Amino acid sequence: MKTIYKSLAIVALAIGITSCSEDTTIEEFTQETQLKSYSLSRDVDGSYTLDHSQSDGISSSIMSTDNGSEVLLNEGYSRKASKSTVSPLMNGDIKVEFISENEIKIPGISIFDSKTSSTASSKEIDYVKSYKISYLEDGSYQLDYTLADNYTPTYEYNEELERHQIRLEKGIANSKNSFSKNFLKFEGQKLNIVFVRNVITTTLQSRRRSNTTIVEPPEVNAY
C-alpha cells in the first residue's frame, strides 16, 4: 500500500512540475513576442515614420518625450500593425524606446541624423537620400537605403571602434542606387552602423595631403 501511495505522489509531483513548466514557457513566449517587428524610416522629404507589428491581444500607444519617442505595449485589443509619425529631437536626432508592462527588455533604437564633421572640404550633400532600418522577427536588422547618384557602398567591420561601416565611394552600381544589408545583433551587445567616406585633407604646416575617414549621417544604434 505504501508503494502505491508513493507512486501516486511521484506522478502528482511530475504533473505539477510539468504544469508549472508549461505555464512558465507560455508566459515567457507571450512576453517575448509582444513586439514582433518594427521599422524606422526617413523619406527623401526628411519625415520619419515608425511601423511596428505586435502580437494578438497586445495594444500599443506612442508618446513623445524630451528624450525621444516611447512606444508602450500593454495587453488589450489593437490592430496587429501600427504606423506613426516620429518627431526628431531638438538636434535632429531620433530615439525610439519600447516599454513593456511586464518589463521584458525590447531593443530600442537611436539614429544620429545630423552632420557632425567639421572638415573644411566637406560639402553639405545628402549622401544617403533615404533609409529604413527594420528589426525582424528573427532578431536581425535589415537596412534599406538609397544613395546619391554615382555612389556605391562597400561593407566592413571596424574592430577597434566595434562598429559596422558602410564606406561610400564614387562609382556606378549597375545603374541603381538602392541597396540592402542584413546585420546581426548579439544579446547584451550594441549594434552600431555608420556610413563613412574618405576625404583628402592638407595640413598647412607640412603641406602634406592625407586621407581622412569621416562619418556621414545617419548613424544607427540598436541597444
Answer whether 35's CB lies under 8 Å from 106's CB: yes
Predicted pLDDT of residue 73: 87
26 and 81 housed in the same domain: no
**Mean pLDDT of the chain, nearest integer:** 80
Q: Could you give the number of structural domains in the chain?
A: 2
Pair (5, 27) in one structural domain = yes
Residues 12 and 87 in one domain: no
* pLDDT digit string, tens, across residues 12-24: 444 444 444 444 4
Q: Do 70 and 22 belong together in one domain?
A: no
The model's confidence at residue 160, banded by pLDDT at 50, 70 and 90, is very high
Tens-place pLDDT, residues 168-180: 998 876 667 899 9
The answer on 83 and 28 residing in a single domain is no
Same domain, 107 and 16: no
Are residues 172 and 152 in contact, defined by beta-carbon separation less than 8 angstroms?
yes
Q: Which helix (H) or strand (E) holds 32?
A: helix 2-32
Residues 60 and 90 in one domain: yes
Share of the chain above pLDDT 90, in %: 42
Sheet containing strand 209-222, strands side by side? 58-65, 68-75, 94-100, 109-112, 209-222, 191-202, 163-170, 151-158
Find out whether 130 and 42 touch, Cβ atoms under 8 Å.
yes
Residues 16 and 112 placed together within one structural domain of the fold: no
Phi and psi dihedrals of 41, rounded to 5? -130, 150
| Single pTM value for the model | 0.78
Same domain for 114 and 28: no
Is 75 in the same domain as 12?
no
88 and 19 in a common domain: no
- For the record, the C-alpha cell of 59 comes out as 495594444
Which residue has cell 530615439? 95
Residue 171 identity (one-letter amino acid) = G
* pLDDT at residue 36 is higher than 60: yes
DSSP letter, residue 160: T
Domain range for 211 is 35-222
As a whole number of angstroms, the distance between CA 156 and CA 167 comes to 8
